[in-house]
Amino acid sequence: MSNSVRRHFLKESKIKRTLDDLHGKLNVDLEKLFGPKPRIELVKTEETEILIHNKTPFLARTGDDVFPTLLSQQILPLLRKITVDMGAVPHICNGADIMAPGIIRVDGEFSENAFVLIVDERHGKPLAIGQALLNSESMEKTKRGRVVKNLHYVGDGVWNLIRKILA
Protein backbone atom coordinates (compact mmCIF):
# COMPACT_ATOMS: atom_id res chain seq x y z
CA MET A 1 0.00 0.00 0.00
CA SER A 2 1.16 3.45 -0.86
CA ASN A 3 1.73 6.02 1.87
CA SER A 4 0.09 8.74 -0.25
CA VAL A 5 -3.57 9.02 0.73
CA ARG A 6 -5.85 11.65 -0.84
CA ARG A 7 -9.35 12.44 0.45
CA HIS A 8 -12.20 14.48 -0.96
CA PHE A 9 -15.99 14.50 -1.21
CA LEU A 10 -17.48 13.36 -4.50
CA LYS A 11 -19.63 15.56 -6.71
CA GLU A 12 -23.31 14.68 -6.98
CA SER A 13 -22.98 13.37 -10.57
CA LYS A 14 -20.11 11.03 -9.62
CA ILE A 15 -22.09 9.77 -6.59
CA LYS A 16 -25.06 8.98 -8.83
CA ARG A 17 -22.90 7.03 -11.31
CA THR A 18 -21.17 5.12 -8.51
CA LEU A 19 -24.42 4.19 -6.76
CA ASP A 20 -26.02 3.20 -10.07
CA ASP A 21 -23.08 0.88 -10.75
CA LEU A 22 -23.37 -0.61 -7.26
CA HIS A 23 -27.14 -0.98 -7.68
CA GLY A 24 -26.49 -3.12 -10.75
CA LYS A 25 -24.13 -5.39 -8.83
CA LEU A 26 -26.19 -5.67 -5.63
CA ASN A 27 -29.72 -5.31 -7.02
CA VAL A 28 -30.70 -3.10 -4.08
CA ASP A 29 -32.38 0.33 -3.89
CA LEU A 30 -29.41 2.32 -2.63
CA GLU A 31 -31.40 5.52 -2.19
CA LYS A 32 -33.15 3.78 0.72
CA LEU A 33 -29.75 2.98 2.25
CA PHE A 34 -27.99 6.29 1.68
CA GLY A 35 -30.81 8.80 1.24
CA PRO A 36 -31.65 10.93 -1.81
CA LYS A 37 -28.51 13.13 -1.70
CA PRO A 38 -25.77 11.36 0.23
CA ARG A 39 -22.39 12.95 1.00
CA ILE A 40 -19.78 10.42 0.01
CA GLU A 41 -16.08 10.81 0.61
CA LEU A 42 -13.44 9.18 -1.57
CA VAL A 43 -10.16 8.04 -0.03
CA LYS A 44 -7.65 7.18 -2.71
CA THR A 45 -4.19 5.64 -2.87
CA GLU A 46 -2.30 4.51 -5.98
CA GLU A 47 -3.85 1.01 -5.77
CA THR A 48 -7.13 1.42 -3.91
CA GLU A 49 -10.20 3.62 -3.58
CA ILE A 50 -12.50 3.53 -0.55
CA LEU A 51 -15.92 5.20 -0.47
CA ILE A 52 -17.15 6.44 2.90
CA HIS A 53 -20.67 7.41 3.95
CA ASN A 54 -21.39 8.60 7.53
CA LYS A 55 -17.83 7.70 8.59
CA THR A 56 -18.34 4.10 7.41
CA PRO A 57 -16.27 2.67 4.55
CA PHE A 58 -18.86 0.89 2.43
CA LEU A 59 -17.23 0.23 -0.93
CA ALA A 60 -13.72 -0.49 -2.21
CA ARG A 61 -12.17 -0.59 -5.64
CA THR A 62 -8.86 -2.25 -6.48
CA GLY A 63 -8.06 -2.49 -10.16
CA ASP A 64 -11.22 -3.67 -11.92
CA ASP A 65 -12.76 -5.19 -8.78
CA VAL A 66 -15.45 -3.15 -6.97
CA PHE A 67 -16.88 -4.70 -3.81
CA PRO A 68 -18.50 -3.90 -0.44
CA THR A 69 -16.15 -3.64 2.53
CA LEU A 70 -16.34 -5.85 5.59
CA LEU A 71 -17.31 -2.78 7.66
CA SER A 72 -20.32 -1.73 5.61
CA GLN A 73 -23.20 -1.99 8.06
CA GLN A 74 -25.60 -0.89 5.30
CA ILE A 75 -24.61 -3.51 2.72
CA LEU A 76 -23.45 -6.60 4.67
CA PRO A 77 -26.95 -7.54 5.86
CA LEU A 78 -28.09 -7.59 2.21
CA LEU A 79 -25.48 -10.15 1.12
CA ARG A 80 -26.11 -13.89 1.08
CA LYS A 81 -23.99 -15.77 3.61
CA ILE A 82 -21.70 -18.72 3.22
CA THR A 83 -20.60 -20.34 6.47
CA VAL A 84 -17.22 -22.08 6.48
CA ASP A 85 -15.66 -24.51 8.94
CA MET A 86 -12.95 -23.31 11.31
CA GLY A 87 -10.28 -25.19 9.36
CA ALA A 88 -10.87 -22.90 6.37
CA VAL A 89 -10.59 -19.66 8.38
CA PRO A 90 -6.78 -19.24 8.40
CA HIS A 91 -6.61 -19.92 4.65
CA ILE A 92 -9.36 -17.43 3.85
CA CYS A 93 -7.68 -14.81 6.08
CA ASN A 94 -4.51 -15.32 4.02
CA GLY A 95 -6.38 -14.59 0.79
CA ALA A 96 -7.29 -18.10 -0.39
CA ASP A 97 -10.44 -18.57 -2.42
CA ILE A 98 -13.25 -20.56 -0.79
CA MET A 99 -13.27 -24.24 -1.64
CA ALA A 100 -16.36 -26.44 -1.59
CA PRO A 101 -15.15 -28.85 1.16
CA GLY A 102 -14.82 -25.95 3.64
CA ILE A 103 -18.43 -24.84 3.27
CA ILE A 104 -20.88 -25.84 5.97
CA ARG A 105 -23.95 -23.85 4.91
CA VAL A 106 -25.16 -21.65 2.05
CA ASP A 107 -27.87 -19.20 3.13
CA GLY A 108 -30.26 -17.80 0.55
CA GLU A 109 -30.40 -17.97 -3.20
CA PHE A 110 -27.94 -16.13 -5.44
CA SER A 111 -26.63 -16.26 -8.96
CA GLU A 112 -23.15 -16.77 -10.29
CA ASN A 113 -20.97 -13.63 -9.83
CA ALA A 114 -23.10 -12.37 -6.91
CA PHE A 115 -21.32 -10.87 -3.90
CA VAL A 116 -21.40 -13.15 -0.86
CA LEU A 117 -20.35 -12.73 2.75
CA ILE A 118 -18.09 -15.44 4.17
CA VAL A 119 -18.56 -16.07 7.92
CA ASP A 120 -17.03 -18.54 10.37
CA GLU A 121 -19.09 -21.38 11.85
CA ARG A 122 -18.28 -20.71 15.50
CA HIS A 123 -19.20 -17.04 15.90
CA GLY A 124 -20.69 -16.06 12.53
CA LYS A 125 -18.08 -13.30 12.22
CA PRO A 126 -17.46 -11.82 8.77
CA LEU A 127 -14.18 -13.06 7.31
CA ALA A 128 -14.36 -12.09 3.66
CA ILE A 129 -16.36 -10.68 0.80
CA GLY A 130 -16.35 -12.96 -2.19
CA GLN A 131 -17.77 -13.34 -5.66
CA ALA A 132 -19.69 -16.55 -6.26
CA LEU A 133 -18.26 -18.72 -9.02
CA LEU A 134 -21.43 -20.85 -9.01
CA ASN A 135 -25.07 -20.15 -8.24
CA SER A 136 -26.36 -21.17 -4.79
CA GLU A 137 -28.03 -24.37 -6.00
CA SER A 138 -24.87 -25.62 -7.72
CA MET A 139 -22.72 -24.56 -4.78
CA GLU A 140 -24.77 -26.65 -2.35
CA LYS A 141 -24.40 -29.71 -4.57
CA THR A 142 -20.72 -29.53 -5.42
CA LYS A 143 -18.24 -31.35 -3.19
CA ARG A 144 -14.91 -30.11 -4.53
CA GLY A 145 -13.16 -27.23 -6.21
CA ARG A 146 -13.17 -23.45 -5.95
CA VAL A 147 -16.63 -21.97 -5.46
CA VAL A 148 -16.01 -18.36 -4.35
CA LYS A 149 -13.35 -15.86 -5.42
CA ASN A 150 -11.98 -14.05 -2.35
CA LEU A 151 -12.13 -10.29 -3.07
CA HIS A 152 -11.56 -8.76 0.38
CA TYR A 153 -10.67 -10.38 3.68
CA VAL A 154 -9.73 -9.52 7.24
CA GLY A 155 -6.09 -8.38 7.25
CA ASP A 156 -5.72 -7.61 3.53
CA GLY A 157 -4.48 -4.29 2.09
CA VAL A 158 -7.99 -2.81 1.91
CA TRP A 159 -8.66 -3.82 5.52
CA ASN A 160 -5.41 -2.17 6.65
CA LEU A 161 -6.13 0.99 4.66
CA ILE A 162 -9.57 1.22 6.26
CA ARG A 163 -8.04 0.84 9.73
CA LYS A 164 -5.59 3.64 8.87
CA ILE A 165 -8.46 5.87 7.65
CA LEU A 166 -10.54 5.26 10.78
CA ALA A 167 -7.64 5.76 13.21
Pair 59, 66: CB distance under 8 Å: yes
Q: Classify strands 80-84 and 48-53 as parallel, antiparallel or unpaired.
A: unpaired
- Give the CATH class of 76-153: mainly beta
Alpha helices in 11-156 (DSSP H): 12-26, 30-34, 89-92, 136-141
Domain definitions of the chain by residue range? 6-71+157-166, 76-153
CA dihedral (121, 52, 48, 133) positive or negative: positive
The one-letter code for the residue type at 94 is N
- Asked if residue 48 lies in contact with residue 32, where contact means CB atoms within 8 angstroms, the answer is no
Residue 3 banded pLDDT, cuts 50, 70, 90: low
Residues 6+ apart with CB under 8 A from 148: 82, 97, 98, 116, 118, 130, 131, 132, 133, 139
pLDDT tier, 1 (very low <50, low <70, confident <90, very high otherwise): very low
Q: Quick one: pLDDT at residue 167?
A: 81
Given this chain, do its domains 6-71+157-166 and 76-153 carry the same CATH topology? no
pTM of this structure: 0.89
Per-residue pLDDT of 109-154, as tens digits, reads 999 999 999 999 999 999 999 999 999 999 999 999 999 999 999 9
Q: Which of 165, 84, 73, 79 is nearest to 114 (CA)?
A: 79
pLDDT digits 0-9 by tens, 9-62: 999 888 888 777 777 777 677 778 888 888 999 999 999 999 999 899 999 988
pLDDT tens figures, 69-92? 999 888 899 899 999 999 999 999
| Cβ 49 vs Cβ 55: under 8 Å | no
Please identify, in words, the CATH class of the domain defined by 6-71+157-166: alpha beta
Q: What pLDDT score was predicted for residue 141? A: 95
